[in-house]
């Protein structure tokens, strides 16, 4: 009798752990966070994810290949340019504080240019991440896109809206 109880208990334990686990298609929530500078925050299972963690979630999913590559490229270039900018700006600042001579401010100017060049990559990552999250949450269905075209009509030119 105890063997059947043990078997029943272990079966219930495994079934309860399987039922409470995370589903692979669980939606990713997205909201803006911050007071002055709004930052997109991605949430899955009540856990806030960074951009890198979002990429890792999409990399594990084979149906997200179309969206993962542009996301990774924009993330990589944005990070490389912003980290290069921080180093190039910090070098003359530290040198000027430590009084070891005249700092090379041209490095800071180049760093500012690198920082400005990283902004479009970060904005592109943000828009592509929103599209990827929408595709992921819709169950891998492409969103129907609206198109506005200029076409000749009977009497004159007209606008054609197709969706």
DSSP annotation of 62 = G
Stated pTM of the model:
0.69
Greatest Cα pair distance, the chain, in angstroms, is: 89
Residue pLDDT, tens place only, 115-152: 999 999 999 999 999 999 989 888 888 766 677 778 88
Closest by CA to 136, choosing from 52, 34, 67, is 67
Handedness of CA 20, 24, 27, 30 (dihedral sign): positive
């Amino acid at each position: 009798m105890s063997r059947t109880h043990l078997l029943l208990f272990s079966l219930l334990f495994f079934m309860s752990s399987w039922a409470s686990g995370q589903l692979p298609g669980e939606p990713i929530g997205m909201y803006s966070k911050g007071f002055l500078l709004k930052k997109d925050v991605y949430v899955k299972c009540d856990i806030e994810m960074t951009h890198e963690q979002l990429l890792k979630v999409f990399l594990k999913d084979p149906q997200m290949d179309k969206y993962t590559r542009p996301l990774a490229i924009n993330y990589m270039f944005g990070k490389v340019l912003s980290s290069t900018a921080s180093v190039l700006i910090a070098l003359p600042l530290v040198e000027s504080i430590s009084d070891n001579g005249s700092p090379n401010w041209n490095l800071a100017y180049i760093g500012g240019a690198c920082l400005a060049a990283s902004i479009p990559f970060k904005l592109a990552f943000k828009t592509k991440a929103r599209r990827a999250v929408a595709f992921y949450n819709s169950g891998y269905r492409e969103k129907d896109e609206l198109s506005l075209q200029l076409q000749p009509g009977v009497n004159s030119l007209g606008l054609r809206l197709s969706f």
